Amino acid sequence: MTNDTFEFAPEDDAFENAPSGEPWHILLVDDEQQVHETTRFALEGCLVLDRPLIFTSAYSAVEAKAILRKHKRFACVLLDVVMETEHAGLDLINFIRCDLNESSTRIVIRTGQPGYAPELQVIHDYDINDYKQKTELTTTQLIVTLSAACRFFQQLEMINRHREGLELIIQGAAQIFSEHAIETFSEGVLVQLCSLLEVDHHAMLCLRQDNAHRVQVIAGFGPYASMVGHYIDNIANKELTNQIEHVLQTRQNSVTENIAILYLKSPSDDEMVICLHTSRRLTEGDIRLIRLFSVYVSVGLDNVTLFERIENLAFNDYLTCGLNRNGFIKNLEEQICHQDPCMVLLADIDNFQAINDGLGHRIGDLTLIRMREHLQRVLGAKCPIGRISSDNFAIILPIDIYDSLPALMNSVSESLGQGFSIKEYEVPVSLTFGIAVYPSHGLNAFSLLQNAGIALKKAKAEKRGSYVVFGEGFEQELQQRLKTTIELRHCIELNELRIEYQPQFCLKTKEMSGVEALVRWHHQGQLISPVVFIPIAEKSGLIITIGAWILEQACRQQVSWFQETGRSLRVAVNVSVRQLVDPGFLNTLDSILSRTGIDPVQLELEITESMMMNDQSQMILILQAIQDRGVTIAIDDFGTGYSSLKYLQELPVNRLKIDRTFVSSMSASVKDQQLVKLMIEMGHLVDLTLIAEGVEEESEGELLSTLGCDEAQGYFYSRPQPANIITQMLTG
């Protein structure tokens, strides 16, 4: 067979020992008793096509009509034309063909009147099979005539049967093709097959898919209904089990008087066994219909299998074998439809990117798999868990455990205390949770996930490894952030940004050595803190435009001071990681240097130490490209990140800014003082200039000078000032 249909087991062996078929039913219609007796005597014991003959007698057309109305169908009618009337026989033929709509029954006219023969038009119109004179019908001729008639009847029956079967197949296929689940599809196959063969719905369908070794009962009716869902090796009827296994092993049909076990194989190598409990032996015609039906079944089975695989991909996570985002949302929506209050937890694996980058994606994938398994074990097997993004899991918990949520979260945290042992690595893991409650925090799956996400961001910002439950203030805060983002887009064109400059002083000469440019946003009569709008600008991407504007304004101001005072004052500008990794940053820098005419040596870009955590190798390349242009680089907040000698040797930087937290505590703590001294010595060891920020007391400046620090800035020296005040300070 071609590989797009079912393979059907060879049928010769299954039917070679079949007994002779049902007898041929012959109707004798003649008004002469002797004709009936002579015909029965002549054909007594004869077999036509290996089947016996059974005769039914009618002595008039009226009697024949009565028999035909209630009797089973006849293969052949031996008919006299002239009986109670001259045309009684032809009237009977018209009744058979038109009234009864019987086209298969063969009609042989016998006449005892020499020279009488129906016209050719009559033979054609009434579909008369043969015409014989009674005196010509010897036993041999009668057998030949009946053989031809019965054979023709059999052929017509087969054609009609196939036509009707084909109609049933097409109708049945249309019905079962509408099913997308393997169980309902299989039930449909059994229903249509039983209807096609006109047998009782005592049937069972077993399936062994190409990726499984066990055979499972997928659908069953009658005595087989209780077996559905079971594997056949668990079925009590061992005789039936053995028969099924034998059919699968030999790929041969097994047909007995009461049961037929049929083997089918799909193009995808799924093997199917259909057990039919029948009250009759299946004929070769039945098998032909089954073969035709199997073509539709093969396509349908592959379609429904494909649909289930697609549905599996649509709703399940291929990596963790749990729910994916779509599957979780579907599960949550079903619970919402039942109006069952619940909690939605959104869990984020802390520092998962570091696991991926440090140990490789394979260990990262295994960590995700272990995490889902771990959560399922800790929270319970019935708890729906879905991986809804790369390292985020969503969980549904019943609302009745809300009061014990702190204990549960603590239990989860403690269970992760030892981390995961994966391959040869000990992987440290922790989770941060955001929680939303249905219906208080959302009436649909999307709003619940959104609000759980907002709570998660707050938890990550406040303390990783903790949890936060969504509250009304969160939404207000989110709306305010959105409003700020929209308004920030127009701050440059509305001329709302101002730059102030905080002086930096040389601790040896006490002279101003540079300034740090600090942006201010005056919006609708209010001064909005950079602590508020700079993070918003970075997340929204507006920092690219705003940062370029600040950089250009600072460069122009430096050139202006030089022209007005003759002093070459270094100007430091903060840049974010979002700016540095922007593909257009270096071009923007070149353009600003060219337009403003600033000496690149007098421009310093400040980056935070924590920025180097993202991708140190990429950052080094970018910073080197900046230095190649003559621009100097300073590390802000030094001491809060990596702070190692090796780290300082690798970075293309010129200056280190000691974070204010160390400066403010060194006067009161000898330990902190020694720490600052160590930072200064480390910097000098690799030829870097040290500048301390946040100096607010004279004693702090003197101590820094004693420890060898090069420069300082802070409120003790000067607060951030407008450009004209800096001009006065330079000329005063």
- Surface-to-core class of residue 654, CB atoms within 10 Å of its CB (0-12 exposed, 13-18 middle, 19+ buried): middle
Give the burial string for 392-419 (b: 16+ CB within 10 Å, else e): bbbbbbeeeeeeebeebbeebbeebeee
pLDDT for position 99 = 87
Average pLDDT over residues 269-292: 74
pTM attached to this predicted model: 0.48
| Number of helical H runs and strand E runs in the chain | 25, 28
DSSP string, 183-220: HHHHHHHHHHHHHHHT--S-EEEEEE-TT-SS-EEEEE
- Taking phi first (over 0 means left), then psi (-120 to 50 degrees means alpha), and beta for anything else, what does residue 335 get? alpha
Residue 103 pLDDT level (bands cut at 50, 70, 90): confident
Residue 216 pLDDT level (bands cut at 50, 70, 90): confident
pLDDT for position 58 = 93
Question: What would the pLDDT profile of 326-356 be if each residue is shown by its tens digit?
Answer: 889 998 998 898 888 999 999 999 888 888 8
pLDDT for position 642 = 53
* 313 neighbors 319 (Cβ within 8 angstroms): no
Exposure of 238 in the CB half-sphere (CA atoms within 13 A): 0
Q: In this structure, what DSSP letter does residue 508 have? A: T
Average pLDDT over residues 39-59: 87
Spatial distance between the Cα atoms of 542 and 549, rounded to a whole number of angstroms: 11
User: To the nearest 10°, the Cα dihedral for 281, 284, 288, 290?
Assistant: 10
Average pLDDT over residues 140-153: 84
Residue 501: closest CA among 692, 721, 729, 691: 721
Question: Which residues share a beta bridge with 78?
Answer: 28, 108
Q: Both tokens of residue 24?
A: 């041929």
DSSP string, 474-490: HHHHHHHHHHHHHHHTT
* 437 neighbors 470 (Cβ within 8 angstroms): yes
Question: What would the pLDDT profile of 693-716 be if each residue is shown by its tens digit?
Answer: 999 999 999 999 999 999 999 999
Q: Helices (DSSP H) in 316-351: which residue ranges?
A: 325-337
For residue 182, give Cα distances in angstroms to 2, 223, 226, 311, 312.
Answer: 24, 21, 18, 12, 13
Average pLDDT over residues 447-474: 86
- Surface-to-core class of residue 129, CB atoms within 10 Å of its CB (0-12 exposed, 13-18 middle, 19+ buried): middle
Residue 43: closest CA among 60, 26, 19, 68: 26
- Surface-to-core class of residue 538, CB atoms within 10 Å of its CB (0-12 exposed, 13-18 middle, 19+ buried): middle
pLDDT for position 11 = 38
Average pLDDT over residues 651-669: 88
Residue 640 pLDDT level (bands cut at 50, 70, 90): low
C-alpha distance across the termini of the chain, in Å: 102
Q: Average pLDDT over the chain, rounded to whole?
A: 82
Residues 6+ apart with CB under 8 A from 240: 275
Residue 149 pLDDT level (bands cut at 50, 70, 90): confident
pLDDT for position 163 = 60
Give the other-Cβ count within 10 Å of 450's Cβ: 18
Residue 612 pLDDT level (bands cut at 50, 70, 90): low
In one-letter notation, the amino acid at residue 154 is Q
User: To the nearest 10°, the Cα dihedral for 395, 396, 399, 405?
Assistant: -10
Domains of the chain: 13-160 (3.40.50.2300), 177-314 (3.30.450.40), 325-470 (3.30.70.270), 494-731 (3.20.20.450)
Spatial distance between the Cα atoms of 571 and 555, rounded to a whole number of angstroms: 7
State yes or no: pLDDT of 371 exceeds 70.
yes
Residue 294: closest CA among 176, 128, 442: 176
State yes or no: pLDDT of 220 exceeds 70.
yes
pLDDT for position 665 = 86
State yes or no: pLDDT of 501 exceeds 90.
yes
Residue 16 pLDDT level (bands cut at 50, 70, 90): very low
Question: Which residues share a beta bridge with 343?
Answer: 397, 437
Percent composition of the chain: helix, strand, coil (DSSP 3-state, to 5): 50, 20, 30
Peptide bond into 439 cis (omega under 30): yes
- Higher pLDDT residue, 631 or 649? 631
pLDDT for position 693 = 94
Give the other-Cβ count within 10 Å of 389's Cβ: 12
% of the chain residues with pLDDT over 70: 82
Average pLDDT over residues 49-77: 88
217: phi then psi, degrees, rounded to nearest 5: -80, 115
